[in-house]
A = this chain, B = another copy of it.
Amino acid sequence: MKTPEGFLFSAVKCGIKKPDRFDLGLIYSPNRLTAWGVFTQNTVQAAPVVLGKKLIKEETLHGVVVNSGVANACTGEEGIQRATKLLEEVAKGLGVSLRSLLPASTGVIGEQLPLEKMLPKVSELVSNLSPERYLDFTKAIMTTDTFPKIAYRSLKNGISILGIAKGAGMIAPNMATMLGFILTDAKVSKDTLKKVLPKIVDHSFNQITVDGDTSTNDTVYMLCSNQKDLKNWEDFEKACLEVAQELAYLIVKDGEGASKVIKIMVKGAKTKEDAKTFAFSVANSPLVKTAIYGEDANWGRIFAALGKTTIPFDFEKVEIYLNGIPWVKNLQVITDEEILRKELQKEVVEIQIKLKEGKKGFEVWASDLTEEYIKINAHYRT
């Protein structure tokens, strides 16, 4: 794997996360980056989200400073000041303008950034920078993640796209659902990014759920070092989307306590909005998620989850397919229960739900719900 040209990575251990692990990371480019960001819809927005939304509009940007362990959410004016101070110290170390770095944080809500631990590590953070250290960076943004999440594509003309993310669903008590970074050496204008990034996020990160809890810190940044001219826009956009979807898949796969990835595909809805509501209702239903975990072909729970949306539809006409195998038609199970059970034992379970109301569809990826999720989230701080 060849990381995109024009990007350097670094990470240090400040002692925020115990046991001693990388917890402060830096992505830096000596080039002026084209950058855009997409942020959480939560009304309660963390300091780095408030700050990031402003800084992303700057014309000159050189990178991102990310910490894990503390989300810097619900920290008021002091949270903004501390995040700004950290960014400025790193900018000074790099010799770039003070407002040219973007912030991101993930960790426990309601705690201030421990600058006394972080600032002494800034010079090491800067001097460690190298094109190869992307794995250390990826580790530095992990919380309850059990593995680092990286996706990569390269195009024929040498353009490469690197995606890095963290997230294991709603990582409690951190609430720092997900951070994502998509880096490329392609030359792209800011106006184009503004249009393309929300579309990519809509078709990847916005189609996943672990527990339906939206975080205060969700952030996806796309950074372009503008080293290489784009020849085929379609190929590039497709590759970027693939990178984002691969990261989204990895987040669901690493969902807290998850044993399976569930792909819910709703088809034949009247509107896309309906299809989305149906798909998320099934994907977030604790009863569907526990049935899949228990490898129980309990289709009644899917019908109940569709119906609880209160969207009108003719449920007698609904067809369900499991990994492509016909499962329910005319309210009858039409495949042997043992065959269905075997399909449910697979690592990825595809549930296709065909309505007869219209032509719109939506797909959601979800994790199942296990005892381990409860353990992680009930006893995390203890």
| B214 adjacent to A307 (CB under 8 Å) | yes
14 contacts between A and B (CB under 8 A): A43-B308, A43-B315, A76-B331, A109-B300, A173-B300, A173-B301, A211-B286, A286-B286, A286-B373, A290-B378, A296-B378, A296-B379, A296-B381, A371-B374
A211-239 interface with B by 8 A CB criterion: 211-216
Closest chain B residue to A296, Cβ basis: B381
Q: A59 within 8 Å of B by Cβ?
A: no
| B370 adjacent to A44 (CB under 8 Å) | no
Q: A333 within 8 Å of B by Cβ?
A: yes
Say how far A342's CB is from chain B's closest CB, in angstroms.
15
| Given A377-B286, A378-B370, A43-B305 contact (CB < 8 Å) | no
Q: A97 within 8 Å of B by Cβ?
A: no
- In the assembly, what is the distance between CA of A109 and CA of B301, in Å? 8
- In the assembly, what is the distance between CA of A371 and CA of B377, in Å? 11
| Given A74-B300, A213-B304, A304-B215, A287-B331 contact (CB < 8 Å) | no
Closest chain B residue to A309, Cβ basis: B43
Say how far A306's CB is from chain B's closest CB, in angstroms.
7
Other-chain residue from B212, B298, B304, B313 in contact with A381 (beta carbon distance below 8 A): B298
- In the assembly, what is the distance between CA of A318 and CA of B382, in Å? 26
Chain B residues near A216: list those with CB within 8 A. Answer: 300, 303-304, 307
Which among A45, A293, A294 has the highest number of chain B CB atoms within 10 Å? A294
Interface of A is mostly: loop
Other-chain residue from B43, B287, B303, B305 in contact with A311 (beta carbon distance below 8 A): B43
- The contact string, 1 if C-beta is below 8 Å from chain B, for chain A 353-382, is 000000000000000011101110111111
Chain A residues engaging chain B, CB cutoff 8 angstroms:
41-45, 71, 73-76, 108-110, 170, 172-173, 175, 211-216, 284-287, 290-291, 293-294, 296, 298-301, 303-313, 315-316, 330-331, 333, 369-371, 373-375, 377-382
Known: A109-B303, A214-B307, A216-B304. 16 other contacts (CB 8 A): A41-B310, A71-B300, A74-B303, A76-B316, A76-B331, A109-B300, A110-B300, A110-B333, A172-B291, A173-B287, A175-B301, A212-B284, A213-B285, A286-B377, A293-B378, A294-B378
Which among A299, A303, A316, A379 has the highest number of chain B CB atoms within 10 Å? A303
| B287 adjacent to A170 (CB under 8 Å) | yes
Closest chain B residue to A215, Cβ basis: B304
Closest chain B residue to A217, Cβ basis: B304
Chain B residues near A43: list those with CB within 8 A. Answer: 306-313, 315
Which among A71, A290, A373, A380 has the highest number of chain B CB atoms within 10 Å? A290
Which among A41, A299, A374 has the highest number of chain B CB atoms within 10 Å? A374
A-B interface, 4 closest residue pairs, ranked by CB to CB distance from nearest: A109-B300, A44-B307, A294-B378, A290-B377
Copies assembled: 2
| Given A211-B286, A299-B110, A304-B44 contact (CB < 8 Å) | yes
Chain B residues near A370: list those with CB within 8 A. Answer: 374, 378
Closest chain B residue to A177, Cβ basis: B304
Say how far A21's CB is from chain B's closest CB, in angstroms.
21
Which among A74, A285, A309 has the highest number of chain B CB atoms within 10 Å? A74
| Given A374-B293, A381-B298, A109-B286 contact (CB < 8 Å) | no
Chain B residues near A108: list those with CB within 8 A. Answer: 300
- In the assembly, what is the distance between CA of A316 and CA of B46, in Å? 12
| Given A294-B382, A300-B109, A211-B173 contact (CB < 8 Å) | no
Chain B residues near A306: list those with CB within 8 A. Answer: 43-44
Closest chain B residue to A299, Cβ basis: B110
| A74 adjacent to B109 (CB under 8 Å) | no
